[in-house]
Structure 1
Amino acid sequence: MRPTIGRIVHYKDTEGKTLAAVVVYVNPDTNGIVNLSVWNEFGAPFRVLNVRQGDEPEQWNWPPRQ
């Protein structure tokens, strides 16, 4: 699935914690590199730019289906 603006995704921070994020920009020249608006565990927002999809720290991925 391709990311689109407004989609909710998961972002892993540098410590490996999974945080809620929203896609705010999709780089059209790349495969899955996006800019995100992320909320930390205290609800404070921050931005991350040029994030690749994956399961490693500082990457985003789709939330698991339940």
Structure 2
Amino acid sequence: MKPSIGRIVHFNSGEGPAAALVIKVRGEGSTLDLQVFYPNGGIKHMFAIEPGRHLGSWSWPPRE
């Protein structure tokens, strides 16, 4: 899949995955700016987030 503005991804935070809205796609299309929605109600704008499964990265939500 290719990320695009408006898509939902997961941001891998220290509290587990958080829902995030793609607000900008950078460069070749894998580096993203995100609006992250934390389970506790917090919202944060994150810049230049790389894909992966490590802390501080983004990933696609698992399919069920």
Say yes or no: TM over 0.5: yes
Aligned 1:16-31 pairs, distance under 5 A: 17-27=16-26, 29-31=27-29
In structure 1, C-alpha distance between the alignment counterparts of 2:17 and 2:41, rounded to whole Å: 13
Q: Report the AA paired with residue 5 of structure 1.
A: I
Q: Who is 2:39 aligned against?
A: 41
Preserved CA contact (<8 Å) 1:9 1:23: yes
- Aligned in 2, Cα 1:5/1:26: closer, same or farther, shift over 3 Å? same
Q: How many correspondences in the alignment? A: 64
TM-score by length of 2: 0.91
Listed as ranges, the gaps of 5+ residues in structure 1 are none
In the alignment, does 2:9 pair up with 1:9?
yes
Deviation at 1:43, TM superposition (A): 1.6
Q: Who is 1:59 aligned against?
A: 57
Query: Higher strand fraction: Structure 1 or Structure 2?
Result: 2
Greater than 2 Å deviation, 4+ residue runs: none
